[in-house]
């Protein structure tokens, strides 16, 4: 509707136009949801290098992470990329027509999710029929009445007996290669651990698309790194605690294949390539039966002096929008050392663990600009022009030129 048509339209015409546009918007949102489910089924890591579809959608749509997670969860309840059953397929079909608002869809999903599976189809049909006449609050009330009719006794009461406080910890490796951590702590230990993880789990700029659970998992990993780098850490057999990773040079260069982690664990060669950016390397020659024939001396890829120069230049993680300080960062080779990249200031940047992994797995690229400072090129799906971006959060030294 052009401006003149708007001025000439009466109340009914204005309302009809708003409804027509809402139908288009809602139908488009439904199509977006179906596309997100398709991306999820194909593998968002393989397609875009992001760890979750919600994190990708937050970047694409420029919405808060919580909103992106709700959008993806809503889509997964309505649509499927194959014949896999979903929670509310009839609601998904109605959403494609643009006849349902987002609050109405959420209300129906919430109601249907609480109804026993054998009655869901009938209940969903009743809720959709009522949605054409009543608002989402009335539909929620109908869902509550349906649930009360099907389950008049409600859920069984929970055992509210508090667990006895203790200071116990269990860490075990599963056959899948993942580790499970569980424990119980007294109030003081729990409070100190919470304060530490809270500080390490803060969002690292607008690009940080991790869920709270992912942020706290990364915070625990960062806390382990800080402890391992402590000069007061006790030694094991005369050496500081360390983990050995064995990988062939060919696999390390290509990023394909697997590497042995510790005694029995396995990680991908690509993951070993990431860790090899900043570590101690002990070259070893093995025979055909994997017996050690020659073991060289350990050498650190990034020397303490070069690390101090990195700290002074970068002042922290160099990824745009990240506030992590130098002590939480790793040295990243712009041109990997396995490919002949030199270990020198012009080929190194500081990156926190989160952005180090993102750089290795996604379409982001980093380079040293003509002024000697790092700049990043975003993937084409975020910016077709790939305009360079910099981190402007770290303050330069007050006496820098």
**How many angstroms separate the Cα of 207 from the Cα of each of 61, 349, 364, 375, 393?**
12, 18, 12, 15, 13
> Nearest-CA neighbor of 182 among 161, 168, 165?
168
CA 348 to chain centre: 25
Residues facing residue 239 across a β-bridge: 236
Give 41-46 contacts, CB < 8 A, sequence gap 24+. 41/81, 41/82, 42/81, 45/361
Provide long-range contacts, Cβ within 8 A and 24+ apart, for 382-385. 382/59, 382/60
Take residue 77 and report the two structure tokens written for it: 């309840």
For residue 225, give the nearest of 340, 43, 352, 371 by alpha carbon: 352
Could you tell me the CA-to-CA distances from 130 to 127, 169, 213, 323 in Å, in that order?
A: 5, 52, 37, 50
Q: In this predicted structure, what is the pLDDT of residue 395?
A: 72
**DSSP 8-class letter at 157:** P
Give one word for 193, left, alpha or beta, with left for phi > 0 and alpha for psi -120 to 50. Answer: alpha
Q: In this structure, what are the phi and psi dihedrals at residue 351, rounded to the nearest 5 degrees?
A: -140, 140
Q: What is the DSSP letter of 301?
A: S
Count of C-beta atoms within a 10 Å radius of residue 256: 12
Query: Under 8 Å CB-to-CB from 93, ≥6 apart: which residues?
Result: none
Average pLDDT taken over every residue of the chain? 79
Q: What is the pLDDT of residue 243?
A: 53
- The predicted model gives 265-284 an average pLDDT of 56
Question: Helix, strand or coil for residue 52?
Answer: coil
Instruction: Output 390 or 177, whichever has higher pLDDT.
Output: 390
Report strand pairing: 374-377 vs 365-368. antiparallel
Contacts of 241 by beta carbon, 8 Å cutoff, 6+ apart: 228, 233, 234, 235
* Ranges of each domain in the chain: 11-150, 245-277, 294-377
Residue 276's alpha-carbon distances to 5, 61, 304, 319, in angstroms, are 65, 34, 16, 19
Which of 393, 47, 50 is CA-nearest to residue 214? 50
pTM equals 0.52
pLDDT score of 356: 86
- 54: pLDDT confidence band, cut at 50, 70 and 90? very high
User: For 104-108, 160-164, 249-253, which range has the lowest pLDDT when averaged over its residues?
Assistant: 160-164
Which stretch of DSSP H or E encloses residue 182?
Answer: strand 179-184
Q: How many CB atoms lie within 10 A of CB 98?
A: 19
pLDDT at 74 over 90: yes
Share of the chain above pLDDT 70, in %: 74
Residue 294: what pLDDT?
Answer: 47
Dist. CA 389–CA 381, nearest whole Å: 15
What is the pLDDT at residue 229? 66
User: Using 50, 70 and 90 to split pLDDT, how confident is the model at 143?
Assistant: confident
pLDDT of residue 158: 58
Two structure tokens written together for 384: 């077709």
CA distance 123 to 143: 8
Q: Report yes or no: 68 and 57 within 8 Å, Cβ to Cβ.
A: yes
The span from the CA of 38 to the CA of 32, in Å, is 10
pLDDT of residue 105 exceeding 60? yes
155 to 75, 99, 143, 262: CA distances (angstroms): 28, 34, 16, 46
Q: How wide is the angle at C-alpha 38 spanned by C-alphas 36 and 42, nearest 5°?
A: 115
């Amino acid at each position: 509707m052009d401006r003149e048509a708007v001025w000439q339209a009466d109340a009914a015409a204005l309302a009809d136009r708003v409804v027509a546009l809402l139908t288009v918007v809602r139908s488009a949102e439904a199509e977006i949801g179906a596309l997100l489910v398709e991306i999820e089924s194909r593998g968002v890591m393989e397609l875009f290098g992001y760890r979750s579809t919600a994190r990708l959608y937050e970047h694409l749509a420029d919405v808060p992470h919580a909103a992106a997670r709700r959008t993806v969860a809503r889509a997964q309840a309505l649509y499927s990329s194959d014949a896999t059953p979903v929670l509310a397929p009839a609601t998904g079909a109605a959403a494609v027509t643009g006849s349902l608002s987002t609050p109405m869809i959420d209300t129906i999903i919430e109601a249907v999710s609480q109804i026993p599976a054998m009655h869901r189809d009938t209940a969903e049909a009743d809720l959709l029929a009522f949605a054409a006449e009543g608002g989402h609050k009335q539909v929620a009330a109908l869902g509550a009445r349906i649930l009360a009719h099907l389950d008049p006794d409600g859920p069984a009461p929970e055992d509210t007996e508090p667990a006895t406080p203790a200071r116990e910890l269990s860490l075990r490796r599963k056959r899948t290669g993942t580790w499970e951590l569980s424990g119980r702590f007294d109030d003081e230990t729990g409070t100190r651990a919470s304060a530490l993880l809270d500080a390490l789990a803060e969002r690292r700029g607008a690009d940080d698309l991790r869920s709270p659970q992912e942020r706290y998992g990364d915070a625990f990993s960062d806390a382990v790194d800080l402890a391992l780098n402590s000069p007061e850490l006790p030694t094991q057999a005369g050496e500081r605690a360390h983990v050995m990773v064995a990988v062939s040079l060919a696999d390390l260069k290509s990023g394909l294949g697997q590497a042995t982690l510790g005694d029995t664990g396995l990680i991908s060669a690509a993951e070993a390539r990431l860790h090899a950016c900043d570590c101690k390397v002990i070259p070893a020659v093995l025979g055909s039966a994997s017996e050690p024939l020659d073991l060289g001396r350990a050498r650190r890829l990034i020397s303490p002096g070069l690390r101090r120069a990195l700290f002074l230049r970068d002042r922290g993680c160099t990824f745009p929008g990240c506030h992590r300080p130098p002590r939480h960062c790793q040295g990243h080779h712009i041109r990997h050392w396995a490919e002949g990249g030199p270990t020198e200031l012009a080929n190194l940047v500081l990156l926190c663990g989160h952005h180090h992994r993102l750089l290795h797995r996604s379409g982001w690229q980093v380079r040293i600009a003509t002024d000697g400072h790092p700049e990043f090129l975003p993937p084409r799906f975020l910016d077709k022009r790939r305009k360079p971006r910099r981190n402007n959060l770290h303050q330069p030294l007050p006496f820098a030129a």
